[in-house]
Structure 1
Amino acid sequence: MLVVYRHPTKKVQKIVKVSGAGAAASGIGLSRFSGVIRSVLITNVLGIGLVGDAFAAAQRIPNILQNLFGEGALSAAFVPEYSRLADEDPDRAGRLAGGVASFLICLIAILTTVGFLAAEPLTRAVAWGFTGERFDLTVRLVRIILLGTGVLVMSAWCLAILNSHGRLFLSYAAPVIWNLAQISVLVTLAVSEIRDSSSAEKLAWALVIGSVLQVLIQIPYVLRQNRHIRLNLFWKDQPTALVLRRFFPAILGRGALQLSSFIDLALASLLSLGAASSLAAAQTLYLLPVALIATSVVAAELPELSRSDDMATISTRLSKRLLQMLWLVGPILALYLAAGPQIADALFNLGGFRIRITPDDLTVIGLALAAYALGLPALMSSRLLQSLCFSSGDTRTPARIATSRVLVSLIAGAVLMFQFEQILIIGQSLIGFGDWNFSWGPLSDSTRHSSNLPARLGPVGLALGSAIGAWFEFWMLRKHVVSNWKLNRLTNSSLWRHILPTLFAFVAAVALRQLKIGQPLLQICLIGVGVLIVYFGTSSILDTPSQSQLISDLRTTQSNSTSEEDKPSL
């Protein structure tokens, strides 16, 4: 992508080449950071408890539409074929896009109607442990949010087309509109100090409005990329039929992940009050580097891998991207592992300016974040390996492996959460660690539903189960890729030079955490700066390849912009 900067007084311009991954990362960065603001406000305004649990659960249940038929599955099946046709025959590409769009509209309309009518049994089937007011509020919220998530599936269709044409920024920045619609309502609720169930319902309607706006802002740009797009019902055309055949195995893969999300919710509903909202808060931060780094890299690489048949080129791209992701996530991983509760305090209590979350609840969120973070390198690497499989038209293998991952996460999470649920958090200290009896079931209803008892560590056990499942999935995908692509290894340079900086940064974060600083925002800023200094310093001493490559790319970009500065304006 070319970004043109015009000098305000001279008739000259700078032409800077921006990589596909960079454009995607910029768009994702805007949407994710606005999403973090949204999630932080949700936790602060709705709180850790009945209303927060209900909204967290209600968001997950309708998300089956977006997660199954949205970005991941649609891109895996649609982008390779559409990219090929867009280069060869734009008219056939437009026919394919229109056929897929009409198919999605029909399918989602049916499923949304069924989900709306069956919201109560669906909620009961997923949120096993919810009863009384918490259950009733969840059902009401599911019906509202379902309308918005159905619309968002078409945003994934827009994203797939824009990505195929290399327009990565807009498609990934569009969710900013969705977030802003909810942020505006959350700010109003915070000012008015409304904390009852009506606050969650107002937020749910803002979500629906944001969903509609997110799709509408992309449609004109989609039609501009391919003016041959028309809705049609020619689902038996060869390209459309091929995409739909690939689509359903990809849905199974996404379905396995959705099933995992449902299982997490079902298991969390068996834990103490506030577990679901604590997990939702931790997941907000956990998934941020996945979106900023892994998703942006995959978005840029999938079309390129689909166009390449040279094994040496594929191997080089794969190694470079894997190591870059590992290096980029390093300081984030160190922070999450060493300073999770401090991060949670700085964010969810709005830097100490609006304290609504108790220190013990913040400890649960922070430890759950650290547990999730243990699986970050595996999860991010798996995204790229899945993309490689998708580029060759293989959507079945990732689906099969993802299903196995769900089973592993289910078993590990269920076993661990009941053990960790016996550990109390009192005064930010762990009580009962090492003294519990092995447990196979939840605590009594009176204990779980009480809002007056101390926080418990059950969510941390669930997060650990997720991390174990992530490493299992990575190992299976690695085995498949190495075998099918005839590779000796996934990476071609010294892996240890990408790992050591993270270890040193972790030690620095633990040391800086001991400083007694009363202001949480100042404390986490100090820890963050220290981690970055140690991380980049260690990487420089070790001459870590990924850091050297990124610096070289930046210098090349700067050199190109300087050399073009004095050329006349076109």
Structure 2
Amino acid sequence: MSEKGNVTRAAGIVGSATLISRIFGYIRDMVTAYYFGAGPLADAFIAAFRIPNMLRRLFAEGSLSISFVPVFTETLKQDGRSEAFRMAGAALRLLSLVLTLVAVVGVLTSPWIVSAIAAGFKGDPWKYELTVQLSRIMFPYVVFICLVALCMGILNVLGHFAAPSLAPVALNLAMIASLVIGGMVTSDGEIRVTLLAWGVLLGGLLQLGMQIPVLWRRGFSFFKPGPLWHPALATVGRLMLPAVFGAAVYQVNMFIGTMLASLLDTGSITGLYYADRLVQFPLGIFAISIGTAVLPSLSRQMAENDLAGVAETFSFGLRFTLFITLPATVGLVVLREPLVALLFSRGAFDATAVSLTADALLFYAVGLWAISCVRVTVPLFYAFKDTRTPVRVAVAAILINIALSVLLMGPMAHRGLALAVSLSSMVNFLLLLFLLVKRGMVQLEYKTIFVSAAKSGMASLIMGGVVWQGLLCLMPAGGYTFSSAAISTTFGVTAGVVGYACAARVMKSPELSVIQQILNRRRGRSGG
């Protein structure tokens, strides 16, 4: 199979597994919203969970994957499987030690960390102390999830994508179970939210446990004794530090948003959180899946010095990302109100919380395409060992986000924080693309990329117009109820998928043809 086929197949596996995870994640968020709404308990939990979650996204999903996968691939290609496994074992042992120390420091310094990320909580001693307590419980989660990320890198290079992508299901199930148990045994909200924090920690342990048997079946022993160091880890370390900034600008910006939202009205943090969760649905299923699939392919081609292959893989990854995320962007913007009402409007999550979340979702969604394209573009720079450019661009994007957040949070409240993230993400991607073109790192067919993006954009706008007109006819007079939200969302999703597919077919989008070829190949295998 060609690398284009490998990328599409791997993205399909990751996307399908992520879809399952996101469904359970929605159930988790729905139950959380039912019990805590958009009140102080929810704000405290979300602020505390932001700390280990940001570290997960910075190190696990960002720098660790980008820095480890190319080095592991090169070691596997040049020195063989045994040496590559020796290097991976040393990485696991060293990372375990470092992460344990980080977790201990994090637990001890939680009061100072909470003061830094949620300064507005200092005016409410009860809320502040609860956030510190929850932070201390959940901080060790970062140990388990970063080890899971390293296991994911090993398995992805070996061609296995399913188990790492399904791991978040364990976290969601543990959190759902803790919520249900808390709801059954007590009516005290503080005890319930504390049980939820313990559910996060249990979920991290279960996620790591899922990877061990899969690695063992591929000949890698998680518990095999060995050294703490391998020479190849020096390269991983050199790549990792700058990759923290280059690959995770969005997460840093979200973290900044949480800090500033603590200064706004109660419910602002919660509204931003649930809106982000909805944006993460297409981001995880499609964009992150494509980025995950592209990275091993780029690493293989760079190890073989196949620059033409690198250009083709990157070009396809970028075009495919836009083909998927542009209609998702339009869909979230058009369907934001019925979607939020359908998913979360129950229990303590009232009409005010729905409005807060829908407003934030509007401004987060407009930047979805740019956030997604960054996930595909940054690995290309690291494939060429260029660690400086993504860092410089990332720092510029973060500074722009801070400036825009401070400027917009006054007149627009939490909506301004969401818009600042989207605008800075656009700047991040466009700067990376500009520098890629200026330096001529790979010989891309830019006309092909532009034409493909234009077709995807036009098809998305046509789809959005059709869905919007239908929603105007279905919109209830007194606000969305569960049934009216369900009808509007079902219509919107169905009409959107059919409308976009038809428009893409009329415009002869090549990405649609690739998807059809993969599906036809699978039908042929199942039929045979």
Q: TM-score, normalised by structure 2?
A: 0.91
Query: Which of 332, 341, 344 is the aligned partner of 1:345?
Result: 341
How far, CA to CA, are the matches of 1:558 and 1:93 in structure 2?
A: 36
- 2:11 equivalent in structure 1: 21
How far, CA to CA, are the matches of 1:21 and 1:163 in structure 2?
A: 11
Amino acid paired to 1:96: M
Report the CA distance shift for 1:225/1:397 in structure 2 as closer, same or farther (over 3 A).
farther
Work out whether 1:392 is the aligned partner of 2:384.
yes
Q: CA deviation at 1:50?
A: 0.4
Work out whether 1:250 is the aligned partner of 2:243.
yes
Query: Which of 496, 503, 508 is the aligned partner of 1:543?
Result: 508
Report the CA distance shift for 1:42/1:491 in structure 2 as closer, same or farther (over 3 A).
farther
How far, CA to CA, are the matches of 2:520 and 2:295 in structure 1?
A: 26
Work out whether 1:556 is the aligned partner of 2:521.
yes
Kindly indicate whether the alpha-carbon contact (under 8 Å) linking 1:318 and 1:490 is maintained by their aligned counterparts in 2: no
Indicate the larger mover: 496-505 or 541-550: 541-550
Larger relative helix fraction? 2
Report the CA distance shift for 1:362/1:195 in structure 2 as closer, same or farther (over 3 A).
farther
Report the CA distance shift for 1:40/1:506 in structure 2 as closer, same or farther (over 3 A).
same
Work out whether 1:416 is the aligned partner of 2:408.
yes
CA-to-aligned-CA distance 1:84-134 (integer Å, 9 cap, x gap)? 222441121112111111221111111111111111111011111113221
Indicate the larger mover: 378-387 or 30-39: 30-39
Taking the TM superposition and a 5 Å limit, the aligned residue runs for 1:470-489 are 470-482=425-437, 483=439, 484-487=441-444, 489=446
- Secondary structure of the 2:446 match is coil
How far, CA to CA, are the matches of 1:535 and 1:193 in structure 2?
A: 48
Q: CA deviation at 1:491?
A: 4.1
- 2:463 equivalent in structure 1: 505
Q: CA deviation at 1:480?
A: 2.2
- 1:56 equivalent in structure 2: 46
How far, CA to CA, are the matches of 1:490 and 1:459 in structure 2?
A: 38
- Secondary structure of the 2:348 match is coil
How far, CA to CA, are the matches of 2:247 and 2:295 in structure 1?
A: 17
Report the CA distance shift for 1:459/1:228 in structure 2 as closer, same or farther (over 3 A).
same
CA-to-aligned-CA distance 1:256-305 (integer Å, 9 cap, x gap)? 55542331111010110110111110000011111111111111111111
- Secondary structure of the 2:140 match is helix
Report the CA distance shift for 1:319/1:335 in structure 2 as closer, same or farther (over 3 A).
same
How far, CA to CA, are the matches of 2:364 and 2:254 in structure 1?
A: 14
- 1:302 equivalent in structure 2: 295
Kindly indicate whether the alpha-carbon contact (under 8 Å) linking 1:45 and 1:189 is maintained by their aligned counterparts in 2: no
Kindly indicate whether the alpha-carbon contact (under 8 Å) linking 2:291 and 2:317 is maintained by their aligned counterparts in 1: no
Amino acid paired to 2:495: G
CA-to-aligned-CA distance 1:436-488 (integer Å, 9 cap, x gap)? xxxxxxxxxxxxxxxxxxxxxx1111100000001000011101222222445
Kindly indicate whether the alpha-carbon contact (under 8 Å) linking 2:459 and 2:503 is maintained by their aligned counterparts in 1: yes
How far, CA to CA, are the matches of 2:448 and 2:132 in structure 1?
A: 48
- Secondary structure of the 1:393 match is coil
Q: CA deviation at 1:367?
A: 1.7
Taking the TM superposition and a 5 Å limit, the aligned residue runs for 1:28-427 are 28-87=18-77, 88-130=79-121, 131-190=124-183, 194=187, 196-227=189-220, 230-235=224-229, 237-253=230-246, 257-308=250-301, 309-349=305-345, 354-420=346-412
How far, CA to CA, are the matches of 1:327 and 1:397 in structure 2?
A: 26
Report the CA distance shift for 1:524/1:469 in structure 2 as closer, same or farther (over 3 A).
same
Taking the TM superposition and a 5 Å limit, the aligned residue runs for 1:423-502 are 458-482=413-437, 483=439, 484-487=441-444, 489=446, 491-492=448-449, 493-502=451-460
Kindly indicate whether the alpha-carbon contact (under 8 Å) linking 2:7 and 2:293 is maintained by their aligned counterparts in 1: no
Q: CA deviation at 1:361?
A: 2.1
Kindly indicate whether the alpha-carbon contact (under 8 Å) linking 1:46 and 1:199 is maintained by their aligned counterparts in 2: no
How far, CA to CA, are the matches of 1:56 and 1:179 in structure 2?
A: 15
Amino acid paired to 2:90: G
Kindly indicate whether the alpha-carbon contact (under 8 Å) linking 1:67 and 1:254 is maintained by their aligned counterparts in 2: no
CA-to-aligned-CA distance 1:114-162 (integer Å, 9 cap, x gap)? 1111111110111111132211110110000112222221111111111
Indicate the larger mover: 98-107 or 134-143: 98-107
Q: CA deviation at 1:190?
A: 4.9
Q: CA deviation at 1:222?
A: 1.6
Q: TM-score, normalised by structure 1?
A: 0.84
Kindly indicate whether the alpha-carbon contact (under 8 Å) linking 2:90 and 2:228 is maintained by their aligned counterparts in 1: yes
Task: Provide the aligned length of Structure 1 versus Structure 2.
Answer: 507
How far, CA to CA, are the matches of 2:317 and 2:448 in structure 1?
A: 9
Identity across aligned pairs (percent)?
29
Q: CA deviation at 1:396?
A: 3.1
How far, CA to CA, are the matches of 1:301 and 1:494 in structure 2?
A: 19
Q: CA RMSD in A?
A: 2.3
Kindly indicate whether the alpha-carbon contact (under 8 Å) linking 2:7 and 2:294 is maintained by their aligned counterparts in 1: no
Query: Which of 491, 514, 525 is the aligned partner of 2:490?
Result: 525
